[in-house]
Structure 1
């Protein structure tokens, strides 16, 4: 039974997982405090984590009906993310581990997103491809055993992440922040074929690029002015992103002889991405795994899920020398303690 703590950005999460099941969870978001700035302000996020962490842990444990003595370990996001936000979460996790005499595991935030799907669809397959799409990351990964094996990058974004592109296009269209849900809502009333926006790097390996697409949207809106129906622009932009993401993900599965595709991260909650992925995976004979929207965004349950995998695999805990790494590369699910 593992308590997971997440504080890498603007959401404070705690979750309790046992036997691959989510027993209790709590989430507090400071998103409204950042909205007027058009993005996350690190110091505001860190202060919000400071206030929300203990209540979230209490709520998650109460919902799970567990006491500290029932826990086997604590897992915490130690990278990547906002430096001060990570420090707040890791400091809290160390305090709980010390007070309750529990082993402490440092978890890579993106590995947490991958593990979130196990809470919905069970243990991960022995070999799979994962597409991570979020505000700061867009990557195609070749996975083995998440707790034991190295994570192989097949492709990454060369500039804007998909979620970042959604935020920037939402700002161009005056839809507000966060951009992903705002664009998705606007696109429901528009035509995905109204504007043929570019599909960057569609046939060039497994890397991604969304900066040019964002610029194309800006130029289209500037040229058309009020004649450009907002809903059509939103739907056409969203279609371009979903088209590239799903085409490359399916191609990666075929190229590496993998029959399971897992899509995770905040953008995985996007309605059109889920629809197109389901259609293309069905046509290619692939199994598609996508967690429910509540597990796509940052949460403590996904960190607890990685922690349980690490405990079951006999991985050594990081202990109280665990340090944060705001730019931690994704090579393994566990992040090591600081060198002495």
Structure 2
């Protein structure tokens, strides 16, 4: 089965093509991603209207390049998948309508993909991870721990009660004048910093449960910066190193606890911890999680860096996994700004007009 995937949920315009064999093995045939960093940099974050217009301008060429790179005629593609949520509605509409149009014109099935599920299943493409496994999903919009039992079968064990981890990175970078995107900027600055100089809090650690909180940590960084002002480059590097070490310790502690629970509930002797999402590209966090998994008697899996951020390959693979189970969607399927993986979970923050917030 060969599937074209389209991703436009935020500020990456992406398309990719994968092949899923009958035994479940996958092969990446193409992966094209066009970022919009220069478009959003002056604003210190993603501007939804600018992102949607950029998708309109870029997507046709990105899809054409993905098809060309794969060396497979569009007629030989078996299905088209596109992210239909969660994300920025304008971008989702561009990607979904393009995917539907291609599917209709080519006479192919269409698969509506949950962006979070695409991240969640990437490890099955890259590392052939079998169900069930434990997932730490860390991105700009989400920080969750989930038990992944199968395609479409997710149980949320923990989530952030305020900021997502990627958002905390971005806001810390903006506070320290490091620009956008914040995650890579903080990691670069932290490389030359002293992680022991500033003592920062680890919210919720030591308390029962697996939820996260990063708002107080972000405030602590601001207060430390104000006390050290005016900031020298060395001060900024030390603040970044301290912040990064603190969040790595937080997610590692939660991961250890989650692995213990996972083994007890599933009976899996050597549980697999998978990290996914844009923040999964952070080297310090990957190292901390690898150590946590080893301490808990589990194994650690992280996608290649090229597949940590938003990309069309993960959408194509999620579409292929769903197609293998006979799951496809009509062309009238809507986009959804909010679309939790575990729809049975009670929202931590509550409901908004568009659905569950967290």
Q: TM-score, normalised by structure 1?
A: 0.94
Q: Which moved more, 1:260-269 or 1:124-133?
A: 124-133
Residue 218 of structure 1: which of 216, 222, 225 is its match? 222
Is the contact between residue 25 and residue 61 of structure 1 (CA under 8 Å) also seen in structure 2? no
1:148-297 paired onto structure 2 within 5 Å? 149-204=152-207, 205-226=209-230, 229-257=235-263, 259-297=271-309
Q: CA–CA distance in 2 between the matches of 1:117 and 1:256?
A: 18
Q: Does 1:21 align with 2:24?
A: no
| Residue of structure 1 in register with 2:336 after alignment | 325
Q: CA–CA distance in 2 between the matches of 1:246 and 1:308?
A: 32
Q: Which runs of 4+ in 1 moved over 4 A?
A: none
| Residue of structure 1 in register with 2:23 after alignment | none
Q: CA–CA distance in 2 between the matches of 1:331 and 1:254?
A: 21
Instruction: Give the C-alpha shift of residue 119 in structure 1.
Output: 2.8
- 1:279-310 per-residue CA deviation (whole Å, 9 max, x = no partner) reads 22222221101001110000000000101101
Q: Does 1:96 align with 2:102?
A: yes
Q: CA–CA distance in 1 between the matches of 2:231 and 2:127?
A: 45
Is the contact between residue 34 and residue 62 of structure 2 (CA under 8 Å) also seen in structure 1? yes
Residue 143 of structure 2: which of 138, 151, 173 is its match? 138
SS in structure 2 at match of 1:320: coil
Q: CA–CA distance in 2 between the matches of 1:203 and 1:268?
A: 23
Unmatched segments (≥5 aa) in structure 1? 333-340
Q: CA–CA distance in 2 between the matches of 1:41 and 1:126?
A: 37
- 1:158-214 per-residue CA deviation (whole Å, 9 max, x = no partner) reads 000000000111111111111000000000001211111000011221110000000
Instruction: Give the C-alpha shift of residue 117 in structure 1.
Output: 2.1
Instruction: Give the C-alpha shift of residue 227 in structure 1.
Output: 5.9
Q: TM-score, normalised by structure 2?
A: 0.89
SS in structure 1 at match of 2:331: helix
Q: Does 1:9 align with 2:10?
A: yes
Measured at CA, do residues 77 and 269 of structure 1 come closer, stay the same or move farther in structure 2, by a change above 3 Å?
same
SS in structure 2 at match of 1:256: helix
Instruction: Give the C-alpha shift of residue 25 in structure 1.
Output: 1.4
Is the contact between residue 259 and residue 296 of structure 2 (CA under 8 Å) also seen in structure 1? no
Q: CA–CA distance in 1 between the matches of 2:131 and 2:256?
A: 18
Q: CA–CA distance in 2 between the matches of 1:244 and 1:125?
A: 27
Measured at CA, do residues 53 and 227 of structure 1 come closer, stay the same or move farther in structure 2, by a change above 3 Å?
closer
Is the contact between residue 255 and residue 293 of structure 2 (CA under 8 Å) also seen in structure 1? no
SS in structure 2 at match of 1:144: strand
- 1:211-266 per-residue CA deviation (whole Å, 9 max, x = no partner) reads 00000000011112136711111000011111111110121011121510000000
| Residue of structure 2 in register with 1:80 after alignment | 86
Unmatched segments (≥5 aa) in structure 2? 21-25, 344-358
Q: CA–CA distance in 2 between the matches of 1:211 and 1:158?
A: 9
Q: CA–CA distance in 1 between the matches of 2:165 and 2:140?
A: 7
Q: CA–CA distance in 2 between the matches of 1:230 and 1:30?
A: 26
Is the contact between residue 127 and residue 301 of structure 2 (CA under 8 Å) also seen in structure 1? yes
